[in-house]
């Protein structure tokens, strides 16, 4: 039975989103239990947000282009599936320092929610009709 790349991307992307949600849940638990005080406040908060947001958004087209390129080769398809999981997960990795350093939960969760944009981008722009197995 031939497995399609789209279904594999959906599963790996969902795992990345779930992993990111678990990471952010752990960070919220840590923030609540320890009473961690914000280390960054005022204009530095917005500077940190701009830096992390720009980096996170700039990574999206770069990674999708790379996954499209790797998806063209037979051996690269499995790597694309693994990269997609990490790609969706990394939105939470960028949101984690913002949340812990500033204590701003709403903005931190919005940064982490970019994993949904990454998930949709991976499904939408990476070629999906390709089979995971080599052609005979």
pTM equals 0.86
Q: Are 119 and 47 in contact (CB under 8 A)?
A: no
Answer whether residue 133 is part of any domain.
no
Answer whether residue 41 is part of any domain.
yes
Euclidean distance between CA atoms 20 and 42, whole angstroms: 27
Per-residue model confidence as pLDDT tens digits over 50-91: 999 999 999 999 999 999 888 877 778 889 999 999 999 999
Which pLDDT value is given to residue 75?
75
Answer whether residue 60 is part of any domain.
yes
3-state secondary structure of 82: helix
Q: Count the domains in the chain.
A: 1
Answer whether residue 39 is part of any domain.
yes
- Report the chain's C-alpha Rg in angstroms: 17
Give residue 18's domain range: 5-125
What residues have CB less than 8 Å from 76, skipping those under 6 apart?
69, 70
3-state secondary structure of 131: strand
Q: Are 52 and 97 in contact (CB under 8 A)?
A: yes
């Amino acid at each position: 039975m031939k497995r399609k790349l789209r279904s594999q991307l959906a599963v790996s992307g969902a795992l990345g989103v779930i992993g990111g949600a678990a990471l952010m849940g752990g960070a919220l638990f840590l923030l609540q239990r320890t009473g961690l005080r914000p280390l960054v406040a005022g204009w530095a908060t917005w500077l940190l947000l701009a830096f992390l947001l720009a980096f996170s958004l700039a990574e999206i087209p770069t990674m999708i282009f790379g996954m499209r390129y790797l998806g063209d080769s037979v051996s690269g398809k499995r790597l694309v599936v693994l990269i997609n999981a990490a790609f969706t997960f990394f939105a939470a990795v960028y949101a984690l320092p913002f949340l812990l350093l500033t204590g701003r939960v709403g903005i931190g969760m919005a940064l982490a929610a970019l994993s949904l944009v990454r998930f949709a981008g991976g499904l939408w722009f990476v070629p999906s009709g390709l089979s995971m197995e080599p052609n005979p």
